[in-house]
Structure 1
């Protein structure tokens, strides 16, 4: 079992402990580390060694930058600490009240492309080691981005194509509909981009950390949990600024000072996203468990007593 997974096994089995770890891991300063420093930190974590404070914390650098299946450094833009600085302007642009369809589609294309890339880079790749991306997986990603882009822009498409002019319907399309739509699109993106994990299975481990085979049931559980966590991330991030805007518009003070609504809405997007990223990452354990009776029969015979572990991905 990879040293990163062993660390999550020992320290990340409760929500509060995972949240505390993720708050530390999402520090963007770790993005400045080189690949050589990352591999050194990963080796130190595996050997159980410690370094001087001036060299930084190898645990934080390893957990935030190394893929737990391949042991290689993640692409810089798809590391967890890069999620907020890159996705924040994209999320903000996707929630803007666009006047036409093209800007709405373009903002959604950027957001969904990055989301699909992040989901793919942080997937469980235990069954794909030594293999290149298949044509099927590439087409699946392209189709996911295309579908999610159109789905995310549906509110603006409805307004323009149906020539919606009524204020209540426009409010519904611009402020209410994007909330469940954002959650559904985020769930769909994870579920489709990582669908091969449920088809081919992911590596599972016994209570001692020894690999015992590949399980499709564990793959389905890992993808489902990650999809739910991503739906919570984007759903709540979409709900906070939209609902806040509706409340502020009813306030007498903000009716007289309408120019304040827009900057407060922008601030609320960044605040909600920044708060929800570590919370959503902590909803389910990175090293998940599945009951012995729920995996394949051949694995049940190979596993002794105790839980069966799997890497959930991110």
Structure 2
């Protein structure tokens, strides 16, 4: 079992402890480290030492190394890059646009980044090749195209239907994006990582030894990650909309309507930043699957009643 997975096996048993760990792993300053520093940190992290220096090496390895391949993650798709890269894209995507083109443009950038992040942080334990197949590339392109068009639907409806009614515009701009954002986030993870459900992922016994490939574990890993991503984007869409709706009723915002736009931008970025470690922590990185739900040929290996699997991110 990879040293990163061994760490998650012994740490982060509760949601709160995982949130604390992820708050450290999401430090953007970790992006400044070179690949050589990351590889050196990986070797130190696997040494079993507990000094402060090795704790910092463990943090760097966890935030920058793929737990299945052992390779350094692409810079833009490492967990610490999610907030600084996606925040402006999310804010721009949730803005009330005047036409369809800017809505499509920002959705294209956001959905492309989400697809790249989902693919880079998938479970790749059963893959024979390190390069994406033509089928996978077409699947990613199709996912991005569909999610881009679907994400711009509120603006498309407003423009094509010529909506002028304030309540209907409020529905399309503030209410519809909430379930839509959650659904598209769930869809993106489920389709980008569909290979894990079709071919399975590696499972481990209580000693950390690989015992086989399980489709049931792959389905569970993808489902949990998709739910966590839906919670991330659904909450990021819901809370700022609710906050703006409440503040618009106050005298201060009724007299100073120009305050609404900057508050909307700040609240979206703030909620996104708060929700990223929470969403990553909803399910363990090293998940468990019960013996009863495993394939028959793997049940004998589950001596403790369950096996472990890497959930991905």
TM-score range, shorter chain: over 0.9
More displaced stretch, 128-137 vs 75-84: 128-137
Determine the C-alpha separation between the residues in 2 that align with 1:97 and 1:288: 40
CA contact (8 A) 1:206 1:306 kept: no
SS of residue in 1 equivalent to 2:212: strand
Unaligned runs of 5+ in 2: none
Q: Report the number of matched residues.
A: 313
More displaced stretch, 6-15 vs 81-90: 6-15
Q: How far is 1:34 from its partner? A: 0.8
For residues 1-314 of structure 1, the aligned pairs below 5 Å read 1-49=1-49, 53=53, 57-314=56-313
TM-score by length of 1: 0.97
Change (3 A) 1:56 1:87: same
Q: How far is 1:50 from its partner? A: 5.0
Determine the C-alpha separation between the residues in 2 that align with 1:302 and 1:130: 27
SS of residue in 2 equivalent to 1:310: strand
Change (3 A) 1:17 1:129: farther
Q: How far is 1:129 from its partner? A: 4.3
Unaligned runs of 5+ in 1: none
Determine the C-alpha separation between the residues in 2 that align with 1:38 and 1:246: 45
CA contact (8 A) 1:207 1:306 kept: no
Determine the C-alpha separation between the residues in 2 that align with 1:302 and 1:259: 63
Determine the C-alpha separation between the residues in 2 that align with 1:203 and 1:241: 40
Determine the C-alpha separation between the residues in 1 that align with 2:300 and 2:247: 60
Determine the C-alpha separation between the residues in 2 that align with 1:18 and 1:196: 27
Provide Cα deviations, 1:108-153, integer angstroms capped at 9, x if missing partner: 0000000000000000000114342111111100000000001100
- Which 4+ residue blocks in structure 1 deviate beyond 2 angstroms? 49-53, 129-132, 301-307
Determine the C-alpha separation between the residues in 2 that align with 1:129 and 1:17: 34
Determine the C-alpha separation between the residues in 2 that align with 1:36 and 1:52: 20
How large is the Cα RMSD of the aligned pairs?
A: 1.2
SS of residue in 2 equivalent to 1:308: strand
SS of residue in 1 equivalent to 2:248: helix
CA contact (8 A) 2:204 2:212 kept: yes
Determine the C-alpha separation between the residues in 2 that align with 1:49 and 1:167: 62
